[in-house]
Amino acid sequence: MIELVYFAWVRERIGEARESHETNAKTVRDLIEELKQKEERYAVAFSDLNTIRVAIDQDLVDMDSSIENAKEVAFFPPMTGG
C-alpha cells in the first residue's frame, strides 16, 4: 500500500489531493499506466508525461525509478517557485 499525493493542476484534474493505492507496478512509469487504465480523470491528468514531475518519499526521481520500498509517491507539474 502506497500513498499517492497530487499537486497543482494534477491534483485538480484527479480531483483529490491524496489517496492510498495498492499496486504491483515496479516503476513510476508502470504505476502511471496502471492509474491511466483505472479511470478517465487519471488519463487526462497524465496525458502528457513531459509535463509531469515525480517525487518518491520527497526526492525528485525519473519515470523509470523503482517504486519498491516507496511510502509516498507525488505527482505534480514542473515547479514554478522563486
Partner 1 sequence: MKISVQAEPFDYGALSNAFAQGHTHVGAVVTFCGIVRDDELGGLSTMEIEHYPGMTEKAIKAHAQTAKDRFSLAEVLVIHRYGSLKPGEMIMMVATAAPHRNDAFQGAEFLMDYLKSRAPFWKKEIVNGEPRWVDAKPEDEDALSRW
Which residues contribute to the site for partner 1 (CB under 8 A)? 5, 7-9, 55, 58-60, 74, 76-82
At its nearest, how many Å lie between partner 1 and the CB of residue 37? Answer: 26
- Angle formed at CA 49 by CA 68 and CA 25, multiple of 5 degrees: 25
Complex with partner 1: residue 20 or 24, whichever CB lies closer: 20
At its nearest, how many Å lie between partner 1 and the CB of residue 11? Answer: 8
At its nearest, how many Å lie between partner 1 and the CB of residue 59? Answer: 8
Cα separation, 70 vs 1, whole angstroms: 9
Task: Give all strands of the β-sheet with 2-6 in edge-to-edge order.
Answer: 18-21, 2-6, 72-76, 53-56, 59-61
Complex with partner 1: residue 24 or 82, whichever CB lies closer: 82
